[in-house]
Structure 1
Amino acid sequence: MIPQQTDPQFPAQILDIGYEDFLPLFNGFSEGILIADHSGIIIYYNPAMALIDELAPAEVVGKKVVDIYDLEAENSMIMQCLASQSPIIDRSMLYRTVRGKVANTIHTVFPLFRQKRLQGAICMVREYNILKETISSVSIPRHKQMRANETRFDFASIIGGNSDFIKAVTCAKMAANTPSPVMLYGETGTGKELFAQAIHNRSKRKDKHYTAINCAAIPENLLEGLLFGTVRGAFTGSCERMGLFERSNGGTLFLDELNSMPISLQAKILRVIQEQKVRRLGSLEEARIDVKIISSINQDPRKAITAKRLRPDLFYRLGVVLISIPPLRKRKDDISLLVHHFLEKHSIALNRKVTDVSTNLSSLLSGYDWPGNVRELEHVIEGAINLVGSSPTLTQRHLQSHVTAFLQQDGTSSGSSPELKAAASSYPLKNLEKHFSRLRSHDKVLGRNNRKGLPDLQADHEKIVLTEALAAYQGHVTKAAKAIGISRQLFNYKMKKHNICRNDFVL
């Protein structure tokens, strides 16, 4: 039922904003919902918000946010949102109401517009202890191949014969039985989780807990409690709870995407690692722990440190053994091996009998740079097997249309058009020679003076096509990309790959 204007919880102003049809839905939300108008006056306050604040709607509606909460305009998220007219997402906050109730919460605030004019803001609030209970109560079904230590992979699960990849695997095996921390560096989809589980299962800790946590997926306030644990009375609603450091005692803790963890929390992690002791939030007592720490980052560690996303002292402590996992574009000789592995794996899972791929499809897969790495390749193969029917051979027609478009877009161009070559020919010869000299110098540094084989010839040809396109359009990347039929993003990636500088072509 749409609330009437006489209902004190739904004053007339809310109808003017135009969101009255949604209000009955908010009554049943487990999250607290608070709506304020453009001046910060509260015009809607749902039952869940009343429980969090321990205030009645009649005490709140019609009053300014800063009058209900012990906050100034500068530190009120609703007032900040109204001032900036920009959303605030998953921000942790500790606040006090005028009645003295203290709440530890996660806030998300969105500005509300009508015909491009700011009308107010909607604030969604979840209490910390409710979030924690929600996460803890999730029952994850055990995979049929899941081991007792909550892992699925070992080194036999790691597929690849590329020399750089083999070095990474060998290094991981050697580091498995030492207490030293291991840091895995690799792009998304290269298999960092797989390496972490394999290291655990080769170690003497394999019968103990393996615990993984994605540092990028959990808000800072919640992440700290999950890692260190809590004691009753530490904050409103807190209870005795063991953290992941204690839970992993004797086993392995995998900190995935460490460079996404807030810097302030990284300092606390460093202390735990150095002292080998952990203290729960709100406690004065410390518990000694013995945990093998494996961490992962998806960015070059030096760049992460420069960008202040990774503390240098934490890197030196956790990067005792630093393992770089090469992206799939740098181990293309493994693509065929991986394709056949995924054919077997998903044919069994999907009740198909696919045993091979056509020559054309194999060439297409090998020519793609796989920005999503091994994970992307597996998803492409799995999707194609779904559409293969009774055929034993996977062909290009079994790929979904958007996948085919991606693969073909990234393939090496068969050659520049006559028009492009003609336009490029008008580019000053001395500038073009300067750029080719730069490329030759780059190749010499990389030891490519006497390169042989199709991949290297393709790379040479690709450089020429990119260079001609940039020369034809005097360094205008968008036009150059359009001329050779690829996206601007892909063109930029290939420029970086071949050490091509756009400014060399700007006249």
Structure 2
Amino acid sequence: MKPIAIHNLFPDVDPSSIPFLSILDQFYAGVVIADAAGKILYYNDAQGCIDNLDPNKVIGRMVTDLYRVDDDDTPIINCMESGKPLKNHACYYRTWLGKIVNSIHNVYPLYSHEKLLGAICFVSDYSITRQTLETISQPYASREIKTFKIPTTPAKSSDKGNGTRFSFKDIIGESPELVKAVESARMASDSPSSIMLHGETGTGKELMAQSIHNTSARKDKSFIAINCAAIPEHLLEGILFGTAKGAFTGALDKQGLFERADGGTLFLDEINSMSIGLQSKLLRVIQERKVRRVGSLKETDMDIRIISSVNEDPHQAAERGALRYDLLYRLGVLIIRIPPLRERIWDLEKLVRHFLHKHSTRLGKKINAISADVMELFHNHHWIGNVRELEHVIEGAVNLVSDGEAIKIRHLPDHINKTTASLPNASRTPSRLTEKGTAFSADPFNVIFPTDHQAPATTVSPQGKSLAKIQAENESRTIREMLKFFQGNVSKAARKLDVSPQLLNYKMKKHNIHRKDFLL
């Protein structure tokens, strides 16, 4: 370690008097400090373990010499160029000695009297997670039945007595985008500030909201949730704010959700479906921190935390007039995006295993196997309904499978397998369909995958190879050529092939293709 290099940042300060250096030396997370020119001034032992580099040989080098990532920039450089913190940034890079690192970076610019001095970067290593993902994402090219190890006792989410059943441990998945969302939610849990979750329908917004509540100081108080899209507008106001006797015909004195949630958390789901007029009344309640029942003049103080959600980008919702800007600023102090399932495709097998266990246990069946063809379809499906859709598909299949039988394509609903089922077995002509605009994406590399309805090995070309074998070779060759052309940049290769990076990564696993082999 050479802390003396920090003297370049603070020339008027004795390096031995900078107390935080000794603290940083003890961090389990990696820490890198660079000056405004990008020269590394500090690099702790933990970062040396992550990168497999000697800290003493790193200090004094340029950041751009040390790290190599897809966009030819590093998080540290990006942070200094923007002048803003870069938080929970998923980064996949290669060090100068060739080690591939998958990590999460939090970078903060360092200023003195408005002058940029440099940046400090905190790095969390996700190499163990990556190894796990690689293990569970092995290719299904052999068309074998995939057998899962199902626990002998059901894993149930227990009622916690505060209106919730879930906490962060119930969130399944290790993909970088999901990890980023969960880390942000954990950090925000103890804050009194309002949180807005945004994600497509079925991504698990209420699960995330309950997890935040159960990690906060309000966990012993009530968690009250309401789906604003499910309640008619003329009823929603009374449900939220309560009613006074005589306010309208048949009205009784009744608490609203704001009063019921006092001391706890109120979750307003799909708030962008609420009318603009009611949004104005909601804004006043939030600003004044007082609620008045419909038909009453009495105001009641409230002490609640509000978590809201929208099923689209909140700023786009505001632009199209579905969400008031001032309400967005009030409720969206912290905005957390929950990724759709198609962006976390590596989590599929864990989710399938979980739902298979859950529903086979609930229905009293012993089912722990699933066809590789089914997993192939799952990886290609667009999942418009996200995790909720996946659970319903698994639940439906479990109902149709006998004890000891594997889930096969015939057990799936039509909207999952109709594209494959509609094609002739041996004589079908491959067509290049992309994920865009379709509920199910057929194979984008013109490859015919066998299903449990057919035996592709009997279809033999004049050269003696099966049709499936020939097309698998073509797929592998196409992927390799694209990765070579784009020097290992998966995102660019996927864009050229008109598929998602997640699907391309899956195909690479299937054909034992490694991105690092194409990095220059």
Under a length normalisation based on structure 1, what TM-score does the superposition of the two structures give? 0.54
Query: Structure 1 residues 227 and 406 mapped into 2: Cα distance closer, same or farther (>3 Å)?
Result: farther
Secondary structure, counterpart of 1:393 in structure 2: coil
Whole-Å separation in 2 of the counterparts to 1:294 and 1:209? 13
Indicate yes or no: 2:271 matched with 1:258.
yes
Query: How much has 1:449 moved relative to structure 2?
Result: 4.6
Indicate yes or no: 2:319 matched with 1:306.
yes
Query: How much has 1:414 moved relative to structure 2?
Result: 4.5
Which residue, out of 441, 447, 454, partners 1:410?
Answer: 441
Query: How much has 1:356 moved relative to structure 2?
Result: 3.0
Which residue, out of 244, 253, 260, partners 2:257?
Answer: 244
Secondary structure, counterpart of 1:278 in structure 2: strand
Query: Structure 1 residues 463 and 342 mapped into 2: Cα distance closer, same or farther (>3 Å)?
Result: closer
Whole-Å separation in 2 of the counterparts to 1:182 and 1:463? 33
Other-structure match for 1:233: 246
Bigger relative contact order (CA 8 A; separation at least 6): 2
Other-structure match for 1:400: 413
Deviations 1:38-83 (A, max 9, x none): xxxxxxxxxxxxxxxxxxxxxxxxxxxxxxxxxxxxxxxxxxxxxx
Query: Structure 1 residues 374 and 407 mapped into 2: Cα distance closer, same or farther (>3 Å)?
Result: farther
Query: How much has 1:459 moved relative to structure 2?
Result: 5.8
Query: How much has 1:321 moved relative to structure 2?
Result: 0.9
Amino acid corresponding to residue 272 of structure 2 in structure 1:
N
Deviations 1:434-470 (A, max 9, x none): xxxxxxxxx9xxxx954466x9866643469xxxxxx
Whole-Å separation in 2 of the counterparts to 1:327 and 1:152? 22
Which range is displaced more, 352-361 or 363-372? 352-361
Q: Percent identity?
A: 52
Other-structure match for 2:175: 162
Whole-Å separation in 1 of the counterparts to 2:269 and 2:327? 14
Maintained 8 Å contact 1:353/1:390: yes
Deviations 1:208-227 (A, max 9, x none): 11111111111222111111
Maintained 8 Å contact 2:341/2:383: yes
Whole-Å separation in 1 of the counterparts to 2:314 and 2:486? 30
Q: Equivalent residues in 2 for 1:364-443 (5 A)?
A: 364-405=377-418, 409-415=440-446
Task: Please report the RMSD computed on the Cα atoms of aligned residues, expressed in angstroms.
Answer: 2.6
**Structure with a larger share of its residues in helix:** 1
Query: How much has 1:295 moved relative to structure 2?
Result: 0.3
Which residue, out of 222, 225, 229, partners 1:216?
Answer: 229
- Structure of greater Rg: 1
Deviations 1:133-187 (A, max 9, x none): xxxxxxxxxx994331121111111101100110101111111112111100000
Maintained 8 Å contact 1:182/1:293: yes
Which residue, out of 299, 321, 332, partners 2:345?
Answer: 332
Other-structure match for 1:282: 295
Under a length normalisation based on structure 2, what TM-score does the superposition of the two structures give? 0.53
Q: Which sections of structure 2, spanning at least 5 residues, go unmatched?
A: 1-155, 422-439, 449-481, 501-520
Maintained 8 Å contact 1:180/1:320: yes
Amino acid corresponding to residue 177 of structure 1 in structure 2:
D
Whole-Å separation in 2 of the counterparts to 1:387 and 1:463? 32
Indicate yes or no: 2:371 matched with 1:354.
no
Other-structure match for 2:55: none
Amino acid corresponding to residue 146 of structure 1 in structure 2:
D
Secondary structure, counterpart of 2:312 in structure 1: coil
Query: Structure 1 residues 463 and 164 mapped into 2: Cα distance closer, same or farther (>3 Å)?
Result: closer
Query: Structure 1 residues 407 and 172 mapped into 2: Cα distance closer, same or farther (>3 Å)?
Result: farther
Deviations 1:186-209 (A, max 9, x none): 000000011111111111212211
Amino acid corresponding to residue 375 of structure 1 in structure 2:
R
Indicate yes or no: 2:492 matched with 1:461.
no
Whole-Å separation in 2 of the counterparts to 1:312 and 1:161? 34
Maintained 8 Å contact 1:153/1:198: yes
Other-structure match for 1:202: 215
Q: Which sections of structure 1, spanning at least 5 residues, go unmatched?
A: 1-142, 418-442, 465-507
Maintained 8 Å contact 1:186/1:299: yes
Whole-Å separation in 1 of the counterparts to 2:350 and 2:296? 52
Secondary structure, counterpart of 2:306 in structure 1: strand
Other-structure match for 1:321: 334
Which residue, out of 178, 194, 197, partners 2:191?
Answer: 178
Other-structure match for 2:153: none
Maintained 8 Å contact 1:365/1:407: no
Deviations 1:236-289 (A, max 9, x none): 222211111011000110101000000011111111111111111122221110
Whole-Å separation in 1 of the counterparts to 2:250 and 2:322? 32
